[in-house]
A and B are shown apart, each in its own frame.
Chain A
Amino acid sequence: MNNPLSDGRLRRRKWIEGFFKILMVGSTALVIGSLLLIIGTIIWKGLPALSLSMVTQTPKGGYYLGKEGGILNAIVGSLYLALGATAIALLFSLPIVLYLNFYARRNSKTAVITRFAFDVLWGIPSIVYGAFGFVLMVFFGLRASLLAGTITVALLELPIMSRAIDEVMRLVPKELEEASYSLGATRFETAVKVVLKQCLPGILTAGLIAFGRGIGDAASVLFTAGFTDRVPTSLLQPAATLPLAIFFQLGTPFPEVRDRAYASAAVLTLIILLISLVSRGLVKKFTKHIIK
């Protein structure tokens, strides 16, 4: 019998194995590398232009020509908008997902259709939400404002949050639910006192994911939130948002202003990184109380 290693066909098969392995490792490195490259580039270009006045001041006269000021209007506007939208989205998605998991039967028509609708809504691009928000605005006679922007972003966040909460709620052990029923609790009591507690880390993470999406989305607020140099003091005033501030500053021909766009992008990236870190920390902290 031949030495298998000198067998040409086997050597060829091994060679193919190695070739694809290199391709796979290369692809993985490319995917991970692209993330590091993106974050690295943004921080590297943005940090030098970042200063305290940028995050503590609103744009002064001639800011977009390179004069004094900062992007506080956009930071606060984005925070208001994303917080409001996340609160609204949570208010609607939590009862819906609870109903799907604990009232509707697993394969009932309601459950299947609603989950499917969430999938469809999840896939709708944010620019379409923006256009729809605009249609709503015209219908209700609203102008571009914090309120209109918040509602539009809430619609955008609803499917993201619902799907994330649904995923954790499906994992709640059936026994836990049954134990609660056997002690005489109603379904509502079980849902609120047992299930919600059990799902708390998942719900928090879902909220943070949705918040991150809301704060970073530009296309949906373009029509609906407007833009202003002041910090909004009422729901009916227009509000500036970070992504749009980045976009508008990049659109100017002045290098100083473009540098500030990079700095603003660094601020937004840092916020997203922070959200990601916090959600990881929260999950660790709250998982302790969970019954497995």
Chain B
Amino acid sequence: MTVRLVKDYLARKSMSLLTILPSFLTVLILFGLFQKSLPILKLKSFVQLIFGTSWHPLKGEFGLFPFLMGTLWVTAVAIIIALPISLLTAIFLSEYAPKFIRELSKPIIDLLSGLPSVVFGVWGILAVVPFVGDILAPMFGTYSSGYNILSGGIVLAIMIFPTIIHVSLEVFASIPFALRETSLSLGATKWETVRHVVLRKGAQGVVAAGVLGLSRAFGETMAVLMVVGNVPAVPKSVFAPGYPLPALIANNYGEMMSVPLYDSALMLAALLLLVVVVAFNILARLILVKAEKRAE
């Protein structure tokens, strides 16, 4: 008998010890990257690094502004494309679609979220880049190689479809059926019910879904890197190439140890990404928790 109790005790203690790991890891990642970005933060002011436009590591100039703008542009394009499409899809799947379509689409959306980013990148080069370069750019009267912000945004939009759809579906599912039935029984059409009941009740959740999609887009590396052009200048239009932060880190890992402060600058870039993404995530979770409480 005691052996079994001792076993239970030991298991409990060791498991509770392991449970510290996730929180510890979060702090450790923040701390580790901060520690590594200290050398450059000691030499230059934070504002100077963030708003500096000149990136010449060999001359000791590490302005991150073009890369920040590259990230913002690509993320903005992605979210503008992805949000309406994913939302309409989620509404269709939750309110309109017959059961078999709903069941059928679930594995497809899961698969879309499971595809590796390199595969998205290869597809982007094969399909999106020629489409944007040869068809869209001439349509708008400009010339572009196709390796630009818009291509990055399109590929990214498809990558964040599953995130937004998934969270929205959960939000819509938590809205009581009685509310919809009340609206329908008063003579509202289905779309009016969606607009005035489902979307209003789920508004916060939809915002959270968008924020989660945003944070996913913000840190995506390989797929964007492969189609966005990687020119370190502040983009002036969606047909201009850009150079997002994650691409900067990924492209320069090779030479970063041979140039002084280079590694520190890249770690600062990673820290910036981390802080922004974590802030977005916390914001989205807080909104979701609040929305859940209100729904109860």
Contacts and interface: CB of A to CB of B under 8 A. Distances in A.
Given A31-B165, A96-B19, A104-B19, A218 B125 contact: no
A120 B194 CA distance: 31
Question: For A14, A159, A246, which residue has the most chain B Cβ atoms within 10 angstroms?
Answer: A246
B127 A37 contact: yes
B97 A100 contact: no
A29 to B, nearest CB: 9
Question: For B84, B115, B194, B281, which residue has the most chain A Cβ atoms within 10 angstroms?
Answer: B115
A25 interface: yes
A217 interface: yes
Contact of A159 (B18, B22, B111): B22
Given A28-B89, A31-B85, A132 B33 contact: yes
A24 B222 contact: no
A187 B273 contact: no
A16 B191 contact: yes
Interface stretch (B4-12, B61-69, B140-148, B231-239): B4-12
A24 B88 contact: yes
Given A123-B278, A127-B273, A250-B226, A186 B29 contact: no
A243 B14 CA distance: 37
Interface string A11-55: 001101100110111111011101101110110010000000000
Interface stretch (A63-71, A170-178, A265-273): A265-273
Question: For B122, B125, B216, B280, which residue has the most chain A Cβ atoms within 10 angstroms?
Answer: B122
User: Which DSSP category, helix, strand, loop or mixed, fits chain B's interface?
Assistant: helix
B74 interface: no
B89 A31 contact: yes
Contacts of B46: none
Given A27-B92, A276-B111, A32 B219 contact: no
A31 B92 CA distance: 12
Given A96-B21, A213-B114, A276-B114, A24 B15 contact: no
B103 interface: no
User: Which DSSP category, helix, strand, loop or mixed, fits chain A's interface?
Assistant: helix
B191 A20 contact: yes
Interface residues on B, range: 35 or more
Contacts of B258: none
Contacts of A21: 96, 191
B215 A123 contact: yes
B189 to A, nearest CB: 5
Nearest to A18: B191
A146 interface: no
Interface of B: 4-5, 7-8, 11-12, 14-16, 18-19, 21-23, 25-26, 29, 32-33, 35-36, 84-86, 88-89, 91-93, 96-97, 105, 107-112, 114-123, 125-127, 158, 161, 165, 189-192, 194, 212, 215-216, 218-222, 226, 246, 249-250, 253, 266-267, 270, 273-274, 277-278, 280-282, 285
Given A103-B12, A213-B114, 4 more contacts: A24-B92, A39-B115, A110-B19, A117-B22
Q: Pick the 6 closest A-B CB pairs, nearest first.
A: A125-B219, A216-B116, A131-B270, A24-B92, A123-B281, A27-B88
